[in-house]
Structures are given as structure tokens and as C-alpha cells.
Amino acid sequence: MSLKQMTPFGIRLFLMLLFLGFLVPNYSAFSETADINTVTSLGLNGYDPVSYFPESDGKVMRGNSYYSYTYNGTVYEFSSEANLDSFKIDPERYLPKYDGWCATSMASGKKISSRPTLFDVENGKLYLFSKLTAQLAWNSKKDELISRADENWKKMQIGEKSST
């Protein structure tokens, strides 16, 4: 149907919907992902990696650029000097598994961005998730998914090393 064939009401409706389409924000632009895989990224989107763990009350907090530290090309921010010092002593202890990719997706052999506010700390390891349903699936069969995700991550690491 062309614009000439449309009724005046149809034309107005079409133009209004077109206009509204430009007003609706692109929510993917606002999603907070935690890719720590690129050199230019801010690790965990600025969340304090130490704050995920029980010794810091397990209350996830945003970091402050005043307390920042670069580790393996990724900048991390911390909410306090104490958390920064803890990270400097043992950075690997606080880094998310699978370089911050969604743990549930990794169990399926996929790299999907995660959100720093969806997480689980299990056996001293930080796991991140892309969405709430991924976290709920993880919680329902954690041991099985950890095993599969670890295996897939290992295969991906071997594949990346052999392709370079």
C-alpha cells in the first residue's frame, strides 16, 4: 500500500508510529555488560571486584576512579583503599570466571556478555550472568553447569592459543 492509497487517518497513524519509534530509547545501549575481554574496557563496568566477596559483606558496590588499578590491561575501580589493597595482593582471586562472560552461556559453549549485578560466588569464585533467567538456570544445577562451563572455557582457551 502506498501513501497515496492510505486514508488521512492511516497516514497520521503511520507518521505518529514512525515518530514514536525515534523517541523510544535503544535499551541495549543502556545495558550494563561486564566484558573484560578487551584492553580498553573498564573491568566489571566499574564495579568493585572485591565487593562481591563475603569479606567485603558481599554487597556489590561501584568503584571509584580514585582507587583504580590496571591488571592485565583491564582497569578495575574499587570502593575503598582496603579493597584495592586486597586486590593487589591476589588479583586472580577476585576476577570473574571465564573472563566475565555469562557463566550459564559458557556451559553451552557460548560467549555472551554479562551484567555485573547478576552474580554468584561459589567456592570462592565469582560467576556473572547475562540475565536473571540465566542466573536462575545456573542456581538449579550449579555443579553440572560449572563442570561444563569449565570444560568449554578450557577448549576455548586452547583454540585461541592455537589460532595465534
At residue 12 the predicted structure's pLDDT band, cuts being 50, 70 and 90, is low
Q: Does the pLDDT value for residue 10 go beyond 70?
A: no
The domain spans of the chain are 43-163
Pairing label, strands 64-71, 74-78: antiparallel
Closest listed residue to residue 77, CA positions, set 85, 65, 86, 59:
65
pLDDT one-digit tens code per residue, 108-163: 999 999 999 999 999 999 999 999 999 999 999 999 999 999 999 999 988 776 66
pLDDT digits (tens, 9 = 90+) for 48-75: 999 999 887 778 999 999 999 999 999 9
Is 46 a residue whose pLDDT tops 90?
yes
Give the pLDDT confidence score for residue 37 in this predicted structure. Answer: 46
Can you say how many angstroms the Cα of residue 17 is from the centroid of all Cα atoms in its chain?
33
Mean pLDDT, the chain, whole residue set: 83
**List of residues 6+ apart from 46 with CB closer than 8 A:** 62, 63, 77
Query: What does the alpha-carbon distance between residue 60 and residue 78 come to, in Å, rounded to a whole number?
Result: 11
In this prediction the pTM is 0.74
- Asked whether the beta carbons of 94 and 87 are under 8 A apart, the reply is yes
Flag whether pLDDT at 82 surpasses 50: yes
